[in-house]
Chain A
Amino acid sequence: MLSFLNLLLHDAFFSAIPAVGFAMVFNVPKRYLVYCAIAGAIGHSSRTLLLQFSMPIEWATFVAAALVGLITIRFAKRHLAPPLMYAVAAIIPMVPGTYAFNTVIALIQLTAQSQVSPELTAQVIVNGLKTVFILGALAVGLALPSLLYYRTRPII
């Protein structure tokens, strides 16, 4: 139990750093960087928690992104800033970057060969599907509060 908690805290800390780093690339104002870090830590560690219960990564990402969406709407209402400002930096640690790069690297290797190899084709399909579905889960999960609850009125 203690090691489990330790894993989550460790995960939260090491996903808060990229959230702040990328928030700085997107020029989020200085006083909001902390909130990006909090949302990023909660999002990624909740995904790790769900993955521990052997949930598929797409569904775990979807739930985590919905959670980030809820939290960032709270922040947005408090600071009168657009919720996407916190949310995008917060979900950067969950973006399937490795899957995306594996897909395109396998594609380029496939181009370099003279005949189609089944292993590389399988790699392209598996990684590409994962990339698309995780990205879809992230974006739809983030939009979930405004799709279900804030249907006709603006968030702030």
Chain B
Amino acid sequence: MYADSQNDITRLVVRCAQLLLAYGAESDLVEEISQRLGKALGLASIELSISSNALVLTSLVHGRCITTTRRIRAHGINMMVICELQRICLLTEKGIYGANEVRRRLAHIKPKSYPAIAVVPMIGLSCASFCHLFDGDLIACVITFFASAIGMMVRLFLASRHFNLLVNFSLTAFVITAFAQMGYLWPITQTPQAAMAASVLMLVPGFPLINAISDMVKGHMNVGISRWGHATLLTLASVIGITIAMQMGGIF
């Protein structure tokens, strides 16, 4: 293998790893996919060092090393991208794809997301069924539906304006709680606390928390701890929003 093709292949592999991390894959999966992709494209070995916001990758072939670093900016979770990258890796391993096809597929990856008109009612329904599982009555479920649907609209709007995620979560939690307090202010429901508890569940950072623990269990300690810290901060940010709304509504 010539030096320029090692360069090329290393760039492809590091691009793949960068995309995987940016769209929310766990560290073990990133390591596995990039090592398999590198081996399938003819490198002898790939070594990765992942930290919370950067990635260092070394490829080795014929006693020659190339090390490269990439900065990672989190883009939110997008499983479509991760699914696509996994498929590219498998097809390359089977020998169907060479370096050129991989490059073409990588260049064509676009993070598509569901339109707001589908996500907003689905999140409303999800939180309403949480409310139902917490033994809320029908009116409480209706309040939850509207509170979390409005909250999701706020969240998507703030995300499209590129606000900091912490600011976004605080403001969203504030709006949701302010709306969900309706059950306390007027005696329309027997179970106002179920509506309050269920409607903010949309803000629980479930994916970062699970990723954090599964990283730590599989030995990626520093990434796991940083993800855990991020998830805790997000929870804290939403609780600040909730507290302000509750104090303004006079529930505390």
Contact = CB atoms under 8 A, between A and B. Distances in A.
Chain A bound to chain B = yes
Interface of A: 11, 14-15, 17-18, 20-29, 32, 80-82, 84-85, 88, 91-93, 95, 97-98, 100-101, 104-105, 108-109, 135-136, 138-140, 142-143, 147, 154, 156
Interface stretch (B10-18, B56-64, B234-242): B234-242
A93 B130 contact: yes
A25 B125 CA distance: 13
Contacts of B24: 26
A138 B211 CA distance: 11
Most chain A CB inside 10 Å of its own CB: which residue of B79, B209, B212, B239: B79
Contact of B243 (A29, A88, A108): A108
B105 interface: no
Q: Is the interface of B mostly helix, strand, loop or mixed?
A: helix
B29 A14 contact: no
A136 B162 CA distance: 32
A108 B177 CA distance: 16
Given A88-B206, A101-B242, A104-B239, A17 B80 contact: no
Interface string B56-91: 000000000000000000000111111100110010
B145 to A, nearest CB: 11
A51 B42 CA distance: 52
Most chain B CB inside 10 Å of its own CB: which residue of A105, A136, A139: A139
A98 B201 contact: yes
Interface residues on B, range: 35 or more
B26 A135 contact: no
Contacts of B87: 80-81
B197 A29 contact: no
Contacts of B107: none
B200 interface: yes
A76 B219 CA distance: 23
19 contacts: A20-B122, A21-B125, A25-B123, A26-B79, A27-B111, A28-B79, A81-B83, A81-B86, A81-B87, A85-B83, A88-B207, A95-B206, A95-B210, A105-B239, A138-B210, A139-B209, A139-B210, A139-B217, A143-B218
